[in-house]
Chain A
Amino acid sequence: MTNYYRLLLGAFVALICPACESFLEEEVYTEYDPSKLLQTEEGINSVLVSAYGELQFKGNIREFNHTFAEFPTDIALESGGGFEREAILFVNFQWDDSHAFFSNSWSKMYRAIRNANSLLDNASAVTAIPEQRLAELIGEARFIRAAAYFHLYDLFGPVPLITTTETLDMEPRRPTEEAFAEFVTTELREAANVLPPIQDLKGKATKGAALAYLCKFLLNTKQWEQVVDVTEEIISLNRYALFPTIEELFTVDNENNSEFIFVHPYLPLSGNGNTYMAHAFPPNYPVLPNWENYGAQYRSYTSFVKSFHPDDRRGLMFVNEYTDTQGKQVLLLEDGAGKPLDNARSFKFVPDPAAIAAFHGNDCPIIRYADILLSRAEALNELNGPDGEPLDLLNQIRERAGVPLLTLDDLPTEEAFRDHLLQERAWEFFSEGLRRQDLVRHGKLIELARQRGKQAMPHHVRYPIPRRELEANSNLIQNEGYE
């Protein structure tokens, strides 16, 4: 019936106005024909850039590095601003699967995967690109895809593995832990094999970056032997070293250092800056006229700030009291009576003098060399106990921080070393979005939250699969505890 009707209509139009059909052809001015775009190296490159663009947290650094990774932990919390309505759910372990932060983050990572897949689907057909260059492009795309899966796994556990754009799978299933781990490790390994040791632009994938991601994935999945192997490989690249002064590592001036293995670069430009500091300035803090101070406040727990050794240079990165713009002395750590205020501010990302409003230029490291050293220490300790190299590695970090070195007397057992390492990592990596995964790996997330009086449940070690995703895909199974 419909076909007859179509036919009739078509015949009618053709009869009355033969030119009308061509009159209605759709002309495209501002978009690209994929069949032409993907034939050129520029086109392939632009697709690669869009994959990087989605992998980089950029405006979502607030969710990835702070809301998900630190507010449910023992080091940081948030209050104030309209943002508090969202953040408080994470501080208090009250999130549910409808929260937009989950679907936003999920979608962003899968867009990175889609863009990487677009390149991988088309790259081999491009004859204009030299073989070596093509292999590198493919390596970058596989790196980006695997890195996106790394972040998805960190939040949600194993998620559907999408490896092409050519067929649209509307109901993909979740793979097993093993299959997922196998995919991510293989991809990162193969990317590392073809990626160059250095790239012309900061923020692009290198061999070291692929190995570092591999290391962190193996660490979080507790594949200790492989962690030892991979860290060995990274160290033997001889490209990376600890920056001598930790408290200056995160300034804009020092961002081109040899400690950051993979970074998300930021620029002091509207929409492209690191907005951490705008959240960290306390109220009425004397800011430069070009700095914006948000209503939302990133705070640190007093117990955490007080846990630093008095000589610890890392502890210098906190503002515990200040004189506000009206000349008033404001205490942040404890009030006059010694009551903890949980209001100290981490100024780790030292404010950028050239910032524009909330947008500072400080790059955000995703993995830095200190993490590789401590990961190696952790793996070696798990395998053989603390003696020897694990303690050396730990002391490299402590030495740089200016705190007394530790001996086997201080950390005689595997367990003592493990517990200390978790604490050392908090001192070293606060404000960098690693605390939650460290606590999860050490099985401490829930325990510590309960000690703070939160209604944390065992299933809270993973976040829920976003509800809209479950609604759109009946094959998807929710994480345990969120059904």
Chain B
Amino acid sequence: MNFNACVKGFNKPLTYRLLLMMKLAILLTIGAVFQAAASSVAQSITLNVSRIPLSDAMESIRQQSGYLFLLKGKELADTKVSAHIKDAPLDDVMNALLKGYALDWVVKGKTIVISKHPVQKISSSEPLPIVNNDAIQQAEVRGRVVDESDNPLEGVTVGIKGTLRATTSNADGSYQLTVEGRESVLMFTAIGFQSQEIPVAGQSVINVTLRASVSDLDEVVVVGYGTSRKRDLTGSVVSLQEKDFSQGVTSNALQLLNGKAAGVHISQGSSAPGATTNIRIRGAGSINSNNDVLVVVDGLPGATIDALNPGDIESIEVLKDASAAAIYGTRAANGVVLVTTKQGRKGKPQVSYNGYVGIQDVAKKIDVLSAREYMEVLNGILADQGADPIYTAEQIDRAGSGTDWQDEVFRSAAAQDHRLSVSGGGDYSRYYISLNYFNQDGVVLGSNLDKYNARFNYEISPTDKLKINLNLNTNRWVNNTIYEDNRANENAGPINTALQFDPTLSAGVDEDGRYLLNPLIALENPLALIHGINEEETLFRSFGTVAADYEVLDGLTATVRFGADFTNRRFDSYNSRLTQRGRASGGIANIATNENNRWLAEFLAQYDKQLTDAHHLSLMGGVTFEEFNNRGVSSGAANFLSDVTGVDQLQSGDRSQFTLNSNRSRNRLNSFLGRVNYRFYERYLLTASLRADGTSRFAADNKYALFPSVALAWRLSEEAFMENVAFLSDLKLRAGFGRLGNQGINNFETFQTFVASSSAILGDGIVQGAAPARIPNPALRWETSEEINLGLDFGLWDNRLTGAVEYFIKNTKDQLFNKPVPATTGFASTRVNFGNVRNSGVEISLFSLNTSGPFEWRTAFNLSLLQNKVTSLPDFIPEIIDGNIGTFINNFTIVRRGVPIRAFYGYEITGIFQEGDNIAGSAQPDALPGHPIFKDVDGNGVINADDRVILGDPFPDYTIGFTNSFQYKGFGLDIQLNAVQGIEALDANIVESLYPINFNRNRIASHYLNRWTPDNPGATYPSGVNPSSYGGARAINSLTIADASFIRLKSVTLAYQLPLRGKKVISGASLYLAGDNLFTLSDFEGFDPDANANSRDGNATGIGIARTSYNSYPLNRTFRLGVNLTF
């Protein structure tokens, strides 16, 4: 199947076919894997009353638990009850309260129903119980309720269908109940789990396994500065629980979202251990500023997601639209990701261990010429240009395949991950403690990551009204990286070098212990780069929050939160004499250290009140302060006595070559925020928020700006007129609007300073100069996004199929632009606000339970369609052409009105000149047969810069995540497929293959085994004869801008739940075998269509939007064997 064709030209039939295929798949596999984590109705209630009316007691319980109550029979209200209970679960309280009375109770939804016991009168609206009057027999039924992992479920309501009689399971999951008659049916219900009905049919023991429910609208999700019931959400929020997370070998928790949420595009700059993960929510809005999301960990904005143990994460919420994210104001422009870590639960300590070992291999190599092919191709090209061959026939015959330099630098590598946690709690405190060790050897020799993480979450409630929360995380990370540099020639990194190095040379060393070189190639030996350069990044990161919630009045809670985040980074690099450069300098050592610390102080108040049956109101307001500090020092030395001291003795180097730098900066934020949530019955919902954000970076007049939002939702399924639509279990319409900011400017841009710059060489030394830093612009203000979001949430057939459809338009205006100014001012640009970018799109999420019962099959599917377009640009910049990668490849992107940000811009190749063509009369009169034909777009008979066209863009037309999970007995199978379609990338490795920097370099095999020659006139690729003569300057063309669409089998996990007997020590155990990145369908020639060299190249422009593939660290295919144990 040619996926290239279906995207590039929007070839309709193929696109249709693909969509049809997907549709079919959805229809076949409608299902879902959405479940809640809540395991039981574990409310903590205190009741100390003597002989008060039942209705008063219930009111007190309502206030503490949130449950409404219904007394069946007016006389019940006056029943005098007593209870002396502290911090007990609801069911204990209710049982104690009603003990000795002929009353029974049951939870229905959010309502506690109390009625006379046994039930004699049945209200007419409820179905009649099936009772065989002839044979009423009372019988005792007992049993045990467990979840899918065989953990006992406490607080499950076990009721008799058609009656109000019910009981709840206790801590070990067991229950007992008296039934009347053989025909009775038991109903097992618990929040977060699917209800089950089981006919008694004469059994006296009924054991039940409850499955986590398909969709639970009572599930609590975290939103900014608070929580909300899922059913009450008005904005676009994706909530993922631990069971939904994407699996794989990763050090980065954002990878857990990969392919799991519509509109959230996760990609990785490279597959190196510890490489950063890029996340884009709903495209990219900012042309020149940061497009990164804001990550908030347990209320701490901007926390480092790398420094988390993914196993500590309870849930991840993605606030996608502006109405949900606006509460985060100036940093929410690109969406917000809220991470909530696990908390202890009341009960005896629970110990759990999760671990895996894995083996990784390079998923795909790039096919370059073998030694023999290389010799033949070089000779062939030389012959075509009338030059003498460089290899004799005899040499070619002896060559064989030579050295495959990729094989020399790649390897199979191990990975392992161990997570141990202990959690539990008592009446006054709860704890969660975890340790994590992660180790990944990279598939490129010399790369390795060691990560250690410890977490301590502690909650203490000294009094009923006060709750103190402490979350601490500390992380140490040691990353040995390969030398990754995209500069040309001897500066290039080992992957670039491995692709282009001479395959006829052996991989060994010569008599001096040096790796072999071919000086005609001007490249370092790949193994010399691997073994000769050591780079190590050591990070020590700690962050945490401490928060106190105090209930000032009924419904009014005040919160104080302090948070801090400290990052210490040290980067060592040593370039030894194994490399030419190291030899020339006698060894080069560099050490850079950096210290980042930031703190946060928040003062919040929240008021939450059910005013009447109809009106529910919740208010939140507060003020926050944040400070960001950064200090660093770096030093370098060269020319050491020996390589053995590495970076550890800089002072033994040559003093005249010492380098030293330091830096320091600070900026601050101050915000005021408020939010109103109003609910009218369960039908109409309103959320409105306002944040005033101030930054130290703007001048006095523009320091503060307002970021409002408003959203409405209407739950149609609660309306009376919808009652008869039987298949519809839930339907909600949402509409929201919000404004977000982006403060992506540097410090001091609003006033003039002088900076150390432009050193001069005077005499025999370098003298430091100072020069004005900029043209200041005191009028700078926030870059602002405004977004409208429309959503429809639905649940069908008892929520067996649930989903959401969303549409959004987001305009990012007042873009922070570097306005080019005449260089006669001495400056290239000044920062101004101007321009607009629009992102719009549709997102569809579906979750379905296809089959239930012993064989269960669930499907989760998400699709996002995105359109990104620059809608206005300042008139002083009709277009921006830039982008660079490596040393010689530049000006490949364009920002122009009407096209996506940083679309690819270059020459279209329409064919290859053949012998006999009228070349002299063409637009390229100097061309030779075998040269590419560039399209003369303006038809003026000359090929020049005006003939460049848009060749693609870095945004996918659509992305799909598709997960199927199967359960049978103890087995579980989980298959995740991701697709990214309609996205292009500059493949800089193709540029270097088609236009080699150096004739003797090796090249990509397909380009030269099918090159044009007079005997091969139908070739796809040009002749290769003196390539710079046919467009080295036009290297950005339709051959080098490549389709980067792909479909990937992201992961397959087969798990088995071990049947345990006794459960004395181990209460649960499961084993799994997983495979990651098993295959990728793509026409892309590079290692990984998903990798983006621009996101990791410090010199590259485009702020992570521009997409290039260049020497990317190859993708891993991984197999993992893991075990999960609970004690």
A-side interface residues toward B, CB under 8 Å?
A: 5-6, 9-10, 12-13, 16-17, 20-21, 23-34, 37-38, 43, 46-54, 56, 58, 79-86, 88-89, 96, 98, 100, 103, 106-107, 110-111, 113-115, 117-118, 159-160, 162, 165, 168-172, 200-204, 264-267, 269-270, 272, 283-284, 289-295, 324-325, 356-357, 466, 468-469, 471-473, 476
Instruction: Please determine whether B822 and A114 come into contact, CB atoms closer than 8 angstroms.
Output: no
Which residues of chain B come closer than 8 Å to A100, judged between CB atoms?
Answer: 890-891
Tell yes or no: B644 within 8 A of A by CB: no
**Given known A84-B1032, A284-B520, contact A114–B760 (CB-CB < 8 A):** no
CA distance A459 to B1032 in the complex (A): 25
Nearest to A117 among chain B residues (CB) is B826
CA distance A50 to B773 in the complex (A): 12
Instruction: Please determine whether A283 and B585 come into contact, CB atoms closer than 8 angstroms.
Output: no
Interchain nearest-CB distance for B234 vs A (Å): 26
Tell yes or no: B697 within 8 A of A by CB: yes
CA distance A324 to B518 in the complex (A): 12
Which of B761, B769, B878 touches A115 (beta carbons < 8 Å)?
B769
> CB-CB contacts of B748-778 with A at 8 A, as 1s and 0s?
1010111111111111111111111101000
Interchain nearest-CB distance for B1024 vs A (Å): 15
CA distance A266 to B1029 in the complex (A): 34
Nearest to A42 among chain B residues (CB) is B770
Return the 8 tightest CB-CB contacts between A and B, nearest first: A114-B826, A50-B769, A82-B888, A53-B758, A49-B769, A201-B763, A31-B753, A295-B522
Which residues of chain A come closer than 8 Å to B489, judged between CB atoms?
Answer: 81-82, 294-295
Which residues of chain B come closer than 8 Å to A290, judged between CB atoms?
Answer: 583-585
Which of B583, B663, B826, B1028 touches A111 (beta carbons < 8 Å)?
B826
Which of B706, B825, B890 touches A114 (beta carbons < 8 Å)?
B825
CA distance A23 to B878 in the complex (A): 40
Nearest to B588 among chain A residues (CB) is A270
CA distance A345 to B796 in the complex (A): 80
CA distance A269 to B759 in the complex (A): 13
Instruction: Please determine whether B754 and A13 come into contact, CB atoms closer than 8 angstroms.
Output: no
Interchain nearest-CB distance for A355 vs B (Å): 8
Which residues of chain B come closer than 8 Å to A43, judged between CB atoms?
Answer: 754, 770
Instruction: Please determine whether A203 and B761 come into contact, CB atoms closer than 8 angstroms.
Output: yes
Interchain nearest-CB distance for B148 vs A (Å): 51
> CB-CB contacts of B878-901 with A at 8 A, as 1s and 0s?
100000001110110000000000
B-side interface residues toward A, CB under 8 Å?
A: 488-490, 519-522, 580-581, 583-585, 623, 625, 638, 656-657, 663-670, 672, 692, 694-697, 700-701, 703-706, 747-748, 750, 752-773, 775, 820-828, 876-878, 886-888, 890-891, 944-945, 995, 997-999, 1028-1029, 1032-1033, 1035
Instruction: Please determine whether B623 and A16 come into contact, CB atoms closer than 8 angstroms.
Output: yes
Interchain nearest-CB distance for B991 vs A (Å): 10
CA distance A357 to B307 in the complex (A): 39
**Given known A24-B668, A29-B664, A269-B766, contact A170–B821 (CB-CB < 8 A):** yes
Interchain nearest-CB distance for A105 vs B (Å): 10
Secondary structure dominating the interface of B: mixed
Interchain nearest-CB distance for B830 vs A (Å): 9
Nearest to A284 among chain B residues (CB) is B519
Which of A30, A110, A165, A203 touches B760 (beta carbons < 8 Å)?
A203
Interchain nearest-CB distance for B764 vs A (Å): 7
Instruction: Please determine whether A82 and B997 come into contact, CB atoms closer than 8 angstroms.
Output: yes
Which residues of chain B come closer than 8 Å to A12, judged between CB atoms?
Answer: 672, 692
Interchain nearest-CB distance for A77 vs B (Å): 13
Instruction: Please determine whether A264 and B820 come into contact, CB atoms closer than 8 angstroms.
Output: no
Which residues of chain B come closer than 8 Å to A295, judged between CB atoms?
Answer: 488-489, 521-522, 997-998
**Given known A9-B706, A37-B754, A294-B489, contact A264–B694 (CB-CB < 8 A):** no
Which residues of chain B come closer than 8 Å to A13, judged between CB atoms?
Answer: 672, 692, 694, 704
CA distance A272 to B747 in the complex (A): 29
Which residues of chain B come closer than 8 Å to A171, judged between CB atoms?
Answer: 822
Instruction: Please determine whether B754 and A32 come into contact, CB atoms closer than 8 angstroms.
Output: yes
Greatest chain A CB density within 10 A among B580, B638, B762, B877 is at B762
CA distance A87 to B886 in the complex (A): 18
Instruction: Please determine whether B754 and A356 come into contact, CB atoms closer than 8 angstroms.
Output: no
Nearest to A468 among chain B residues (CB) is B820
CA distance A114 to B823 in the complex (A): 10
Which residues of chain A come closer than 8 Å to B944, judged between CB atoms?
Answer: 96
CA distance A17 to B704 in the complex (A): 13
Which residues of chain A come closer than 8 Å to B704, judged between CB atoms?
Answer: 9-10, 13
CA distance A85 to B1029 in the complex (A): 9
Instruction: Please determine whether A289 and B583 come into contact, CB atoms closer than 8 angstroms.
Output: yes
Which residues of chain A come closer than 8 Å to B522, judged between CB atoms?
Answer: 81, 293-295
Which residues of chain B come closer than 8 Å to A267, judged between CB atoms?
Answer: 761, 764-766
Instruction: Please determine whether A52 and B822 come into contact, CB atoms closer than 8 angstroms.
Output: no
CA distance A96 to B1033 in the complex (A): 12
Which residues of chain B come closer than 8 Å to A324, judged between CB atoms?
Answer: 519
CA distance A106 to B668 in the complex (A): 38
Instruction: Please determine whether B768 and A31 come into contact, CB atoms closer than 8 angstroms.
Output: no
CA distance A473 to B827 in the complex (A): 13
Which residues of chain B come closer than 8 Å to A476, judged between CB atoms?
Answer: 822
Instruction: Please determine whether B585 and A356 come into contact, CB atoms closer than 8 angstroms.
Output: yes
Nearest to B886 among chain A residues (CB) is A82
Interchain nearest-CB distance for A482 vs B (Å): 12
Interchain nearest-CB distance for B310 vs A (Å): 36
Instruction: Please determine whether A83 and B888 come into contact, CB atoms closer than 8 angstroms.
Output: yes
Which of A31, A48, A270 touches B754 (beta carbons < 8 Å)?
A31
Which of A51, A96, A118, A269 touches B945 (beta carbons < 8 Å)?
A96
Instruction: Please determine whether A114 and B772 come into contact, CB atoms closer than 8 angstroms.
Output: yes
Which of A10, A85, A284 touches B1033 (beta carbons < 8 Å)?
A85
Interchain nearest-CB distance for B428 vs A (Å): 35
Instruction: Please determine whether B762 and A172 come into contact, CB atoms closer than 8 angstroms.
Output: no
Which residues of chain A come closer than 8 Å to B877, judged between CB atoms?
Answer: 471
Which residues of chain A come closer than 8 Å to B767, judged between CB atoms?
Answer: 49, 52, 201
Which of B580, B822, B888, B1032 touches A170 (beta carbons < 8 Å)?
B822
Which residues of chain A come closer than 8 Å to B828, judged between CB atoms?
Answer: 107
Which residues of chain A come closer than 8 Å to B821, judged between CB atoms?
Answer: 170, 472
Which residues of chain A come closer than 8 Å to B823, judged between CB atoms?
Answer: 103, 106-107, 110-111, 466, 468-469, 472
Greatest chain B CB density within 10 A among A169, A170, A291 is at A170
Instruction: Please determine whether A469 and B822 come into contact, CB atoms closer than 8 angstroms.
Output: yes
Interchain nearest-CB distance for B984 vs A (Å): 22
Instruction: Please determine whether A23 and B670 come into contact, CB atoms closer than 8 angstroms.
Output: yes
CA distance A10 to B1028 in the complex (A): 61
**Given known A51-B769, A80-B998, A294-B522, contact A172–B824 (CB-CB < 8 A):** yes
Nearest to B877 among chain A residues (CB) is A471
CA distance A289 to B1033 in the complex (A): 33
Which residues of chain A come closer than 8 Å to B697, judged between CB atoms?
Answer: 26
Which residues of chain B come closer than 8 Å to A325, judged between CB atoms?
Answer: 519
Instruction: Please determine whether B824 and A34 come into contact, CB atoms closer than 8 angstroms.
Output: no
30 A/B residue pairs, CB under 8 Å, sorted by A? A16-B623, A16-B672, A20-B670, A23-B670, A24-B669, A25-B696, A48-B769, A49-B762, A49-B769, A49-B770, A52-B760, A52-B769, A54-B758, A58-B761, A81-B488, A86-B888, A106-B823, A110-B824, A111-B826, A165-B772, A172-B824, A203-B760, A203-B761, A203-B762, A267-B766, A269-B656, A283-B520, A290-B583, A469-B822, A471-B820
Instruction: Please determine whether A24 and B696 come into contact, CB atoms closer than 8 angstroms.
Output: yes
Which residues of chain A come closer than 8 Å to B663, judged between CB atoms?
Answer: 30
Instruction: Please determine whether B1032 and A85 come into contact, CB atoms closer than 8 angstroms.
Output: yes
Instruction: Please determine whether A162 and B997 come into contact, CB atoms closer than 8 angstroms.
Output: no
Which residues of chain B come closer than 8 Å to A31, judged between CB atoms?
Answer: 748, 753-755, 773
CA distance A231 to B521 in the complex (A): 49
Interchain nearest-CB distance for B772 vs A (Å): 6
Instruction: Please determine whether A53 and B759 come into contact, CB atoms closer than 8 angstroms.
Output: yes
Nearest to A33 among chain B residues (CB) is B753
**Given known A12-B692, A32-B770, A56-B760, contact A292–B520 (CB-CB < 8 A):** no
Having A114-B771, A289-B584, one finds 17 other A-B pairs with CB under 8 Å, namely A5-B706, A12-B692, A27-B696, A31-B754, A53-B758, A81-B488, A82-B489, A114-B825, A115-B772, A115-B826, A165-B826, A203-B763, A265-B761, A269-B657, A270-B585, A272-B766, A471-B877
